Amino acid sequence: MDNEKNRPCFEKRVGSIRLVIFENVAENGKPWHNISITRSYRSGTEWKETATFNGEGDLAQVGWAIFSALDWLRNHQSGNGHHENSEE
């Protein structure tokens, strides 16, 4: 399995929220993107992730992460972006 292929092309962390974008290429060569948003939490001594969010604080963090991802996608699709992880 090619590890580079499975790495996200963009990642943004805001508090306990993590947003990642994976780039895929269609048969016609056109790229498309999958986006995943998760929240990290601790259960005992173990860290876990979930796709559920708790209230206003988490939603604000999700909003910031989405805003950053949208900005990255717009720049990337217009050819102005670069194909690297972008954690700000």
Write the pLDDT tens digit of every residue in 61-72. 999 999 999 999
Region 13-27: mean pLDDT is: 96
Does residue 87 fall inside a structural domain? no
- Indicate the number of domains in the chain: 1
25, pLDDT greater than 50: yes
CB atoms within 10 A of CB 76: 19
Question: Which two tokens mark 20?
Answer: 């990642």
Region 78-86: mean pLDDT is: 54
pLDDT tens across 32-56, in order?
999 999 999 999 999 999 999 999 9
Domain that holds residue 7: 3-77
pTM of this prediction? 0.79
Q: Given this model, what pLDDT does residue 84 score?
A: 46
Does residue 62 fall inside a structural domain? yes
